[in-house]
């Protein structure tokens, strides 16, 4: 394993450098060396399971992009939450076979077309976590903007006019 050119403590964005420490049973703490750690627990008792962490990472990655895109369009968010569900295969390995993301967005001036465009761009263009997953993995999303639910969409597919 090669070390990033700046050493393990200050990893440039070209490297995702982490250190995992076993904490007994099926528990692990992982994070950048010298930085905050995330607890992963194979049983999901003291932290997220590794599979839940994948869905969490996808949610967080797209959330960062949605926040940035809407801010650049001068429609900043007041609040954002995402409910993520990864459907898993029934056979081993029980990989994620599809993901459903429900975005709850609120803020003055945010419209469904703006929110859906920001989400679509986040998932299909900007999110590095998404790009690290199987390209065939379907990602479905719904935007709930200021309490109003929009249409369920599949990332990467053109919306059909209604």
Per-residue pLDDT band for 76 (boundaries 50, 70, 90) equals: confident
Q: Show the CA angle centred on residue 101, arms to residues 96 and 103, nearest 5°.
A: 165
Report the Cα 74 to chain-centroid distance in Å: 23
For residue 3, pLDDT over 90 is answered with: no
How far apart are alpha carbons 106 and 49 in whole angstroms?
30
Six-digit token pair at 81?
Answer: 């939450």
Torsion region of 56: left, alpha or beta (phi above 0 gives left; psi -120 to 50 gives alpha): alpha
How far apart are alpha carbons 83 and 17 in whole angstroms?
28
In order of their start, the domains of the chain are: 1-48 (no CATH), 50-154 (3.30.300.20)
pLDDT tens digits, 43-62 = 999 999 999 999 999 999 99
């Amino acid at each position: 394993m090669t070390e990033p050119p700046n050493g393990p403590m200050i990893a440039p964005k070209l490297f995702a450098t982490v250190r995992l420490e076993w904490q007994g049973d099926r528990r692990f703490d992982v994070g950048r060396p010298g930085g905050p750690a995330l607890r992963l627990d194979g049983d999901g008792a003291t932290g997220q399971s590794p599979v839940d962490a994948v869905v969490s990472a996808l949610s967080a990655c797209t959330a960062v992009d949605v926040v940035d895109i809407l801010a650049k369009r001068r429609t900043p968010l007041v609040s954002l939450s995402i409910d993520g569900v990864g459907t898993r295969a029934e056979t081993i390995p029980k990989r994620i076979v599809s993901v459903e993301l429900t975005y709850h967005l609120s803020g003055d001036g945010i419209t469904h077309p703006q929110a859906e465009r920001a989400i679509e761009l986040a998932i299909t263009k900007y999110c590095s976590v998404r790009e690290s997953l199987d390209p065939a993995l379907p990602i479905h999303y719904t935007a709930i903007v200021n309490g109003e639910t929009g249409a369920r969409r599949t990332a990467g597919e053109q919306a059909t006019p209604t």
